[in-house]
Structure 1
Amino acid sequence: MLHDISLSLALGGALALAAYLAQSLRRPDWGLWPAARGWRHHAAFGLFRLFCGATVVFALSEVWVGGWGHWLRYAVGVPLMLAAFGVTLWGYRFLGIDNTYCESGGLVTGGIYAYSRNPQYVTSVLATVGLGIASGSVLTLVLAGGLFALYFLFVLNEERWLLDGYGTAFRDYMAITPRFLDGRSLDRMRDALLD
């Protein structure tokens, strides 16, 4: 029962949030940026937290329903999940918690943000992939894909606001730093490790 309820909540939260973010692209006055602390802001982040929490509960219930499974899925999934979640937390600290949730505290382009304009989104998706592997749940991996889609919609909304607020500085940052990850990210990581 918890298994089905958590999956339904995850899917419902994701669909409602995706609809809101898509509408926000069409009507910027509906947007989250800048950080209007009204009902729309709270509803959007509430739906996002509902989706994420229900996804975790669903993945854990998959272990309960399907059994512990092979040790290899834990050997791969748990370290991936923990490492990715650790980088996500580091990103929050580096950016600042207020900037993470739509405040305007200055354009951050260094540190982890030199490799990706949205490193926390990348690592959150990787953490969810790790959770899916550890739980042996194909549906959790599908939900990780849904998380990526939601982040993509968040990014499209954020970029419009960042371009308005930072103009040329953000446009230059966009030109040299990928939205998520690409070969430039890997080249920079390699160079940083070799220096």
Structure 2
Amino acid sequence: MHRVFAAGLGAQVVLLVGIVGTVVSDSFSFWPPGDRDWRFWTYWTASTIFTGSVLTITILNSGTLAVPLWIRYLGGIVLAASVVFTAVSAYYIRTATLGLEGQLYTGGAYRYTRNPQYVGFIGIAVGLIATAAAKLLVPLLALCIVWLWIHPRPEEAWLAEQYGSEYEEYCEDVPRFVDERTFRRLLKDMGNQG
């Protein structure tokens, strides 16, 4: 189990160092890769190793934390809703989710947050911690949440370069994650449908 944890931790550190390096350096760029080069393959290999370790730990280490049953059930609801939300968000932008060039998509969940997949992944991490109640998941997913919080920053510069004023206007109108604009627009849209 500790080897699985170490593999997941190592993979998450690679991803975190790559993102932080991209944010703080003008000469180093890890994400988004733009092309299928070493950055693309390093990113997706580390992501796959991390995901595999999280799934393995979830199965083999579940129940090692004392978490009340009602919190585990609530975590399951958050987890399920976040998986659906993330999958639907990824579907609409397809290959652009791989960090490759594509068209700027501002519909669907992207009307409410510029990063619905990251919002969904954070929900998945929180839901998984609560549902699995696995001690070894807590540090892995805590690092993952930090990584997800930093992750959009290098993408934003790249997207501004790709789409110019169209993306800048989108940024002014839609929050990076979730804020009061998200809820105002959601309530307004729900009111327009009824």
Q: CA RMSD in A?
A: 2.2
User: 1:38 corresponds to which residue?
Assistant: 37
Q: Which residue of 1 aligns with 2:166?
A: 169
Counterparts in 2 of 1:23-102, with a 5 A limit?
23-25=21-23, 26-28=25-27, 30-63=29-62, 66=64, 70-96=68-94, 98-102=95-99
- For the 8 Å contact 2:75–2:128, the answer to whether it is kept is yes
Separation (CA, whole Å) in 2 of partners of 1:46 and 1:76: 32
Partners of 1:8 and 1:19 in 2: CA distance: 16
Q: Does the Cα contact within 8 Å between 1:73 and 1:135 map onto a contact in 2?
A: no
Return the TM-score normalized by structure 1.
0.87
Letter in structure 2 aligned against 1:99: A
- The equivalent of 1:151 in structure 2 is 148
Judging changes above 3 Å, is the alpha-carbon distance between structure 1 residues 157 and 70 closer, same or farther for their aligned structure 2 residues?
A: same
The question of whether the paired residues in 1 share the 8 Å contact of 2:79 and 2:127 is answered with: yes
Deviation at 1:121, TM superposition (A): 0.6
> Residues 89-141 of structure 1: CA distance to partner in whole angstroms, max 9, x if unpaired?
10111122x11112222111111101000001101110111111011236534
Sequence identity, in percent?
23
Alignment-derived partner of residue 9 in structure 2: 11
Q: Provide closer, same or farther for how the CA distance between residues 42 and 11 of structure 1 changes in structure 2, counting only shifts above 3 A.
A: same
Q: Which residue of 1 aligns with 2:131?
A: 134
Unaligned runs of 5+ in 2: none
Q: Deviations over 1:135-169 (max 9, x none)?
A: 12365344333222222333111111101111111
Q: How many residues align?
A: 191
Shift of 1:193: 2.2
Q: 1:149 to 1:70 in 2, by over 3 A?
A: closer
Unaligned runs of 5+ in 1: none
**AA paired with 1:177?**
V
**Equivalent residue number for residue 183 of structure 1:** 180
What CA distance in whole angstroms lies between the structure 2 residues aligned with 1:34 and 1:10? 22
The structure with the largest helix share of the pair is 1
Deviation at 1:29, TM superposition (A): 5.2
Q: Supply the distance in 2 between the matched residues of 1:138 and 1:182 (Cα, whole angstroms).
A: 31
Residues 73 and 136 in structure 1, CA contact (< 8 A), matched pair in contact too? no
Shift of 1:42: 0.3
Normalising by structure 2, report the TM-score: 0.87
C-alpha contact (below 8 Å) 1:87/1:120 kept by paired residues: yes
Tell me the distance in 1 between the aligned counterparts of 2:4 and 2:122: 19
Residue among 182, 190, 193 paired with 1:193: 190
Q: 1:34 to 1:67 in 2, by over 3 A?
A: closer
Contact 1:129–1:140 (8 Å) recurs in 2: no
Residue 117 (structure 1) aligns with: 114
SS in 1 for 2:151: helix
Deviations 1:7-63 (A, max 9, x none): 222221111211122223314553333522112210112112222221232233222
